Amino acid sequence: MDLVARLADIVGERHVLVDAEAQAPFLTDWLGKYRGAAAAIVRPGSTEEVAGVMTLCTARRIPVVPQGGNTSMSGGATPDMSGRAIVLSLTRMNRIRAVDPIGNAMTVDAGAVLAKVQEAAKAAGRFFPLSLGAEGSCTIGGNLAANAGGGAVLRYGTMRELTLGLEVVLPDGRIWDGLTALRKDNTGYALRDLFIGSEGTLCVITGAVLKLFPQPLARATAFVALRDANAALSLLSSVRARCGDRLTAFEFMTGACLSLILKHSAEARLPLGAVPPAAVLIELSDTDDELALTERLEGALAEAVETEIVLDAAIAQDGVQAKAFWRIREGVSEALVREGKAAKHDVSVPVAAMADFVAAADAAVIAAAPGVRPIVFGHLGDGNLHYNLLPRMGQSDADFAALAPELTRIVHDETCKRRGSISAEHGIGQLRVSEMPRCKAPIELDLMRSLKTLFDPHGLLNPGKLLPAPVEN
Ligand code: FAD
Ligand code: 2HG
Ligand code: ZN
């Protein structure tokens, strides 16, 4: 029987898409950088159906590209152009399976949309802290596969730290039910932590047990103008000393980011007068009362104004204003897309080295490509910067695309010099795969390849992503 008919037997005919128009949204990425082709888009409705699809695809040696909300920033969920692969879309599997307010845990399907998971936690009087610009469409499976970070990592950690248990399907169709909610379990190798961050190359994640936290009842949010990244680091250190764990987010943007947002969003309004050289968005949260929290933030900022670390600051007067501050920060990616095709980098370096990194990377890329426009923002408190480069004004896409690999090498060299990482949160996907041999130790690549062969001996899961093909001797 042909492949499509067999897949339809497993998931139902309606859930196997072969029509070009129906397939289109699954075959390109959010940034519009990659395009692929597929034998079918397959939309299973249960873990057993995923297992059935994997068994069939392994028997027939059909590549499988797992996909959630398709918001990857590294081309991680887009198949290649061969048309041999199927895209396995998990979005029909979107149930909240259980919420346990006493154990502070919830069990969800991998295709559940992040915003729905946050809402379900809230409805139970609890809080799920992962928060990012794509939360209205990204899924828990994608968040896990990418080990997503976002705006609250400083306080709560990345997806790996927010997860207690996993359910996965292996390429041969076996199901591992690791859906436990244990906080302590020392019974050998941490498979859960290996699968998280594996970018769809080792298994298909079908379910997860997530950690819940108390609902923060108070928030205080400020938009702060600064001279540069050095001032931002001084401010981070003093706010942290005064506010401790209440510091939830510390997000950095250069003046160039703010100008770009103002250019592309008619409704964006800066809470400060003129566009400053740099800015940070600070959020404190607590289960205590709001007045005390706001006073704490005001105190920290007043001290920083006195010592001339801060040029100007606005504190949100209510939730609506706080949301407007966040919209500015989360609008940078969209503004970048509207401006042109950026060379995207997602690096982390030790927090103390961040200002030095920005200065060195800016100088090096401008020397290599005069007029290139660094648009630098990100999660400064986590040591993670989105170091984006836009072409010089008037430069054609083709000209800039020819230059981009060299600029990427420069940015990554500055990163590695400081013992940093070339992907802090977006993953390697296909965007960074060619940089892996330059930036990862051979022993690490070797071990990763051995694991890949163990779990996926025929190399069928998400081929071409994360791991570069080995060099033949
Ligand atoms: P997809 O894009 O569908 O897939 C991502 C990767 O996971 C692919 O490799 C795919 O093969 C794999 N995958 C998906 N589902 C499964 C599964 N069930 N089993 C196995 N593998 C699977 N990321 C951050 O970390 N922090 C941010 O602040 C952030 N902000 C963003 C803002 C915007 C506007 C956008 C568009 C993206 C942002 N991202 C951010 C990037 C992205 O990582 C997240 O949006 C999200 O984690 C991806 O989830 P998804 O469901 O869309 O996954
Ligand atoms: C963010 O922090 C996202 O807003 C997207 O991780 C970053 O567009 C980017 O480079
Ligand atoms: Zn980010």
Torsion sign across C-alpha atoms 350, 332, 70, 210: positive
Instruction: Say what the pLDDT of residue 114 is.
Output: 98
The residue whose two tokens read 């940078």 is: 332
Query: For the chain, first and last CA: distance in Å?
Result: 40
Centroid of ligand 3 to alpha carbon of 310 (angstroms) = 24
The architecture (CATH level 2) of 3-89 comes to: 2-Layer Sandwich (3.30)
- CA–CA dist 432, 465 (Å, integer): 9
pLDDT at 469: 80
What are the structural domain ranges in the chain? 3-89, 96-214, 218-333, 340-417
Nearest CA to ligand 2 atom 6: 150
Tell me the CA–centroid distance for residue 333 and ligand 2, in Å. 6
- Confidence grade of residue 445 (pLDDT, cut at 50, 70, 90): very high
Residues whose beta carbon lies within 6 Å of some atom of ligand 2: 73, 133, 330, 332-333, 336, 344, 378, 386, 388
CA of 6 to the centre of ligand 2 (A): 39
Q: What is the mean pLDDT of residues 234-240?
A: 96
Tell whether domain 96-214 is in CATH 3.30.465.10: yes
Beta-strand relationship, 218-226 and 346-348: unpaired
Q: At what angle do helices 397-417 and 354-368 cross, to 10 degrees?
A: 140
Residue 1: pLDDT band (50, 70, 90) is confident
pLDDT (0 to 100) of residue 377: 98
Residue with CA closest to ligand 1 atom 53 = 142
pLDDT of 385 > 80? The answer is yes
Is 340-417 assigned to CATH 3.30.70.2740?
A: yes
Give the pLDDT score at 421. Answer: 98
Q: Residue 278's beta-bridge partner residues?
A: 226, 254
Asked whether the whole model's pTM tops 0.95, one would answer: yes
Q: Looking at residues 91-114, what average pLDDT do you find?
A: 98
> 132 CB less than 6 Å from ligand 1?
yes
Distance 427 CA to ligand 1 centre (A): 9
pLDDT tens digits along 188-212:
999 999 999 999 999 999 999 999 9
Residue 149 Cβ contacting ligand 1 at under 6 Å? yes
For residue 273, what pLDDT band results from cuts at 50, 70 and 90?
A: confident
Q: How far is the CA of 71 from the centre of ligand 1 (A)?
A: 5
Rg of the chain over all Cα atoms, to the nearest angstrom: 23
Nearest atom, ligand 2, residue 150 CA: 2
pLDDT in tens, 14-53: 999 999 999 999 999 999 999 999 999 999 999 999 999 9
Distance 6 CA to ligand 1 centre (A): 29
**CATH 3.30.70.2190 is held by the domain 218-333:** yes
pLDDT surpassing 70 at residue 472:
no
Q: Give alpha helix (H) positions in 196-254.
A: 229-243
The pLDDT value given to residue 448? 97
What local confidence, expressed as pLDDT, does residue 473 receive?
54
Q: Ligand 2, atom 9: nearest CA belongs to which residue?
A: 333
Query: In which band, very low, low, confident or very high, does the pLDDT at 107 lie, cut at 50, 70 and 90?
Result: very high
Q: What is the predicted pLDDT for the residue at 63?
A: 98
Taking residues 75-80, report their average pLDDT: 98
Q: Note whether 3-89 and 340-417 share their fold.
A: no
Q: Is the pLDDT of residue 470 over 90?
A: no
**DSSP helix, strand, coil percent of the chain (3-state; round to 5):** 40, 20, 40
Report the chain's mean pLDDT, rounded to a whole number: 96
Is 67 a pocket residue for ligand 1 (Cβ < 6 Å)?
yes
Whether residue 127 has its Cβ less than 6 Å from ligand 1: no
Report whether pLDDT(434) > 70.
Answer: yes
